[in-house]
Amino acid sequence: MKKFGFKNIYRDKKVLITGHTGFKGSWLSTWLLSMGAHVVGLSNNIPTSPSLFELLKLEKEITHYFEDVRNKEAVREIIINEKPDFIFHLAAQPIVLLSYEDP
């Protein structure tokens, strides 16, 4: 069976992650950084305090933008300016019950 060199796919690539300040986005950012990717994050805010994003000190490791993903023009500008090779869309309503009241 052919061995798949997964970690080399992201080396020296620019990766945009929406929701990068959330739990999953913070782990994905850390994982991609360890594989040599340049990580760009787009998030509405830091959802909790303390947060994994803060505990891992990711604000010093990645380029990040605090913007609402519903702002199409802002997202478009970030994508045009950053020119990511990959995009992971993890942005979501952080508290599921709130999403029923305010999707």
Whole-structure pTM value = 0.84
Q: Which of 33, 49, 8 is nearest to 41 (CA)?
A: 33
pLDDT digits 0-9 by tens, 6-36:
768 999 999 999 999 988 999 999 999 999 9
Q: Which CATH architecture has domain 6-101?
A: 3-Layer(aba) Sandwich (3.40)
Q: What is the DSSP secondary structure assignment for residue 37, as one 8-state letter?
A: P
Compute φ and ψ for 94, nearest 5 degrees: -70, -25
Q: Which of 29, 28, 36 is nearest to 12 (CA)?
A: 36
Q: Which of 93, 94, 31, 85 is nearest to 62 (CA)?
A: 31
In the chain, domain spans: 6-101
Residue type, 36: G
Q: How does residue 88 score in pLDDT terms, banded at 50, 70 and 90? A: very high
Distance CA 27, CA 52 (A): 8
